[in-house]
Structure 1
Amino acid sequence: MSRDAGGSKDSQKHRRLHWSEFSRFAARVGHTLENVNEVEDWMLEHFVWFLVAGAMKPGTLANYRASLSVIQTMAGQDMSDSTRSRALQLERRDRHGRHRARTQQEFNDLLCEAQKIDNGVVHVIRLMRWLGLRMREALMCGKSLETWRELILQGNRRLPIERGAKNGRPRRTEVLMDHVDETLEAINAAIDFCRDRDFELISGCNADLKSAKSRLKSRFEQLPMRRDLASHSLRFTYAVDFANAALDRGTPPVEVLTQLSDRLGHGPSRMKMILEVYCWQIRHRFPEKIQLPSDFVPRAPAKEAATPEPGDFGDKNRVSNEAHKRWTSSRNRRIRSTREGKSYPKFLTNK
């Protein structure tokens, strides 16, 4: 189910681990789950409070709830209402102050230190800063560099990012209007560097992406890239420059946040997060009370979850909607087709 839901390999792995931990919790309270669709609302809610009692941080707790919601959705159950932060009155994670934009002097000092270690790291840093790339996107963009250069020379400032995008969702970034020359210079230098290296900016010891990513992380640890000036601060620098330039041109604040959310790969609907996280340093340039589209969407009333009686906990929830029927029937067909002509141990065939 996690694989069918999509996402990165890490996201799929984390979903499986989170759901396994939940199933162990259910077994500890006397309910061994044989199927995913046997989960009841009260189990998920009690598991959430169990994690809260263990002093789990709000950000980690949100990841657990998202994993459980995805798995239950794939099973044909909508458990989102029973584990919403608002419904359970959970503390929201505070993402403020984690990173900040670098000054030009700090960026120049970072490049000087990187040149002493690895020239490939220099090109990765420059691309992350001028195009707002994530680390994985900058690591894998080598084969897209020539396409980007041609687009810029043709006067197009929107560049497609098709390799390394988060959750495999292609997006388009934008070259900063006031820094076209710096961006083009960074792309040309990166092309010259990686043309004879099969367009790889960083090469790992095992000639695969995992080892290349590990090497890049180890290089970052040797540089002044920690805490508020970690590698993500390069994206913050891009975001602040983009927002300042758009506001100077007279673009409406809401439109600025919409465009920036899209350029950073968060989609056009994360304006509130963009304002509070990426633009916190220039918050004074936006109206004090700004109405964002997500702020005035009426919230649906929360469903009141019935409190189960002590004797009702043994009853299993028999949810079997059309989505779950389609999934189970297709799964059974795959199993039957796979078993044709093969012999299996008796304990497997009985299942």
Structure 2
Amino acid sequence: MSREAGGSKDSQKHRRLHWSEFSRFAARIGHTLEAVDEAEDWMLEFFVWFLVAGAMKPGTLANYRASLSVIQGTAGQDMSRSTRSRDLQLERRDRHGRHRARTPQEFTDLLVAAQAFDNGVVHVIRLMRWLGLRMREALMCGKSLETWRHLILQGDRRLPVERGAKNGRPRRTEVLGDRVDETLHAITAALEFCRTRDFELVTGCNDDLKSAKSRLKSRFEQLPMRRELGSHSLRFTYAVDFANAALDRGVPPVEVLTQLSDRLGHGPSRVKMILEVYCWQIRHRFPEKIQLPSDFVPRTQTKKSSVSSADYPEVRFKGNRSPASRRRPARGRRSQTKHGGKKQNHRPA
């Protein structure tokens, strides 16, 4: 079910782990769940309060609730009411303040320190800074460098980010208008470096992505890249420069946030988060009271993500209940679905 819900491999793994922990909690209170759709609202609410009593941070708690909601939604159960922060009066996560944009001198010092370790790390840092890339995107962008260089030379400032994009969602970043030369130089240097290395900027001991990512993280730990100046601060630096340049051109504040959200790969609907997180250092440049669209726009449900008796003939619902309503099958029963044209028993996520 986690695989059907989509998302990155890490997201799918975390969903399975979170739901397994919830299943063990249900067993401890005397309700062994033999199938995913046997979970009930009150069990989930009890589990949330159990986590709160254990002093779980609001951000981590939100991740648990999102995982459970996605799994139960894939099983045909709408448990959003049991996980709504406002109804449960839960503390909201504070999403701003952990990172900040680097000053030009701090960025220069970082490059000097990185050159003593690994030139590949230097190229990753430059690409993250000038294009606002995530660490994984910069690590995997080697085969896109030639395309990016060609687009910039042709006068195009929008560059496609396809490899390593979060949740597999390709996006298009944008070259900063007053930093074209620096960006082109960073891309050209990175291309020359990795051309003879199978287009890999950083190579791990096992010659795979996992080990390369581990090596890059290890290098970051050895550099002054911790806490507020962690690797994500490079994206913050790009975001602040992008927003300042757009505001200086007279672009409306809401449009600035919408464009920046799109360039960073968060989609056009996360403008409130962009303002509170990435632009908190320049909050004074935006109106104190600004009309922003909701961060959480419900997506239109598609047949792929919904569960219905028409899409899945093996799933039968009693009476006139809709697929999203509560289903309590008899103990030991497994609902069946199709995977690659074959019938398989559903296992707990």
TM-score of the superposition, structure 1-length normalised? 0.86
Separation in structure 2 between the aligned mates of residue 125 and residue 250 of structure 1, nearest angstrom: 30
Deviations 1:256-275 (A, max 9, x none): 00000000000000111100
Separation in structure 2 between the aligned mates of residue 180 and residue 207 of structure 1, nearest angstrom: 33
Deviations 1:221-254 (A, max 9, x none): 1101011000000000000000000000000000
Letter in 2 for 1:87: D
Could you say which residue in structure 2 is the equivalent of 1:147? 147
Could you say which residue in structure 1 is the equivalent of 2:209? 209
Letter in 1 for 2:72: Q
- SS of the aligned residue for 1:197 comes to coil
Separation in structure 2 between the aligned mates of residue 294 and residue 333 of structure 1, nearest angstrom: 39
Could you say which residue in structure 2 is the equivalent of 1:28? 28
Question: Cα distance, 1:50 vs. partner?
Answer: 0.8
Question: Cα distance, 1:330 vs. partner?
Answer: 2.6
Could you say which residue in structure 2 is the equivalent of 1:328? 336
- SS of the aligned residue for 1:293 comes to coil
Matched, 1:47 2:55: no
Question: Cα distance, 1:334 vs. partner?
Answer: 2.3
Shift of the 295–60 alpha-carbon distance from structure 1 to 2, 3 Å rule, reads closer
8 Å contact kept, 1:137–1:163: yes
Mapping of 1:289-300 within 5 angstroms?
289-294=289-294
Question: Cα distance, 1:18 vs. partner?
Answer: 0.5
Identity of aligned pairs, percent? 84
Could you say which residue in structure 1 is the equivalent of 2:310? none
Separation in structure 2 between the aligned mates of residue 152 and residue 188 of structure 1, nearest angstrom: 11
Could you say which residue in structure 2 is the equivalent of 1:188? 188
Could you say which residue in structure 2 is the equivalent of 1:19? 19
Mapping of 1:254-269 within 5 angstroms?
254-269=254-269
Q: CA RMSD in A?
A: 2.2
Question: Cα distance, 1:321 vs. partner?
Answer: 4.1
Separation in structure 2 between the aligned mates of residue 240 and residue 246 of structure 1, nearest angstrom: 10
- SS of the aligned residue for 1:98 comes to coil
Letter in 2 for 1:164: G
- SS of the aligned residue for 1:294 comes to coil
Q: Which consecutive aligned stretches of 4+ in structure 1 deviate over 2 angstroms post-superposition?
A: 317-325, 327-336
Higher helix share: 1
Question: Cα distance, 1:335 vs. partner?
Answer: 4.2
Deviations 1:75-102 (A, max 9, x none): 0111112211111110011122100000
Shift of the 267–219 alpha-carbon distance from structure 1 to 2, 3 Å rule, reads same
Matched, 1:277 2:277: yes
- SS of the aligned residue for 2:188 comes to helix
Separation in structure 1 between the aligned mates of residue 9 and residue 285 of structure 2, nearest angstrom: 39
- SS of the aligned residue for 2:100 comes to coil
Could you say which residue in structure 1 is the equivalent of 2:156? 156
Could you say which residue in structure 1 is the equivalent of 2:244? 244
How many positions carry a matched residue from both structures? Answer: 317
Separation in structure 2 between the aligned mates of residue 278 and residue 188 of structure 1, nearest angstrom: 28
Letter in 1 for 2:188: N
In our comparison, the structure showing a higher alpha carbon Rg is: 1
8 Å contact kept, 1:158–1:175: yes
Could you say which residue in structure 1 is the equivalent of 2:308? none
Could you say which residue in structure 2 is the equivalent of 1:123? 123
Letter in 2 for 1:214: S
5+ residue gaps, structure 1 = 298-316, 339-351
5+ residue gaps, structure 2 = 298-316, 328-334
Separation in structure 2 between the aligned mates of residue 191 and residue 182 of structure 1, nearest angstrom: 14
Deviations 1:157-182 (A, max 9, x none): 00000000001110110000010010
Deviations 1:168-213 (A, max 9, x none): 1101100000100100000000011001001100011111000000
Separation in structure 2 between the aligned mates of residue 180 and residue 76 of structure 1, nearest angstrom: 49
Separation in structure 2 between the aligned mates of residue 188 and residue 329 of structure 1, nearest angstrom: 49
Shift of the 53–248 alpha-carbon distance from structure 1 to 2, 3 Å rule, reads same
Question: Cα distance, 1:296 vs. partner?
Answer: 12
Separation in structure 2 between the aligned mates of residue 76 and residue 267 of structure 1, nearest angstrom: 27
TM-score of the superposition, structure 2-length normalised? 0.87
Separation in structure 1 between the aligned mates of residue 233 and residue 204 of structure 2, nearest angstrom: 24
Tell me which moved more, 6-15 or 169-178. Answer: 6-15
- SS of the aligned residue for 1:37 comes to helix
Mapping of 1:34-73 within 5 angstroms?
34-73=34-73
- SS of the aligned residue for 2:146 comes to helix
Could you say which residue in structure 1 is the equivalent of 2:218? 218
- SS of the aligned residue for 1:145 comes to helix
Separation in structure 1 between the aligned mates of residue 133 and residue 322 of structure 2, nearest angstrom: 42
8 Å contact kept, 1:37–1:318: no
8 Å contact kept, 1:240–1:278: yes
Separation in structure 2 between the aligned mates of residue 295 and residue 184 of structure 1, nearest angstrom: 34
Letter in 1 for 2:189: A
Could you say which residue in structure 2 is the equivalent of 1:89? 89
Separation in structure 1 between the aligned mates of residue 337 and residue 93 of structure 2, nearest angstrom: 40
Letter in 2 for 1:113: A
Question: Cα distance, 1:26 vs. partner?
Answer: 0.8
8 Å contact kept, 1:38–1:318: no
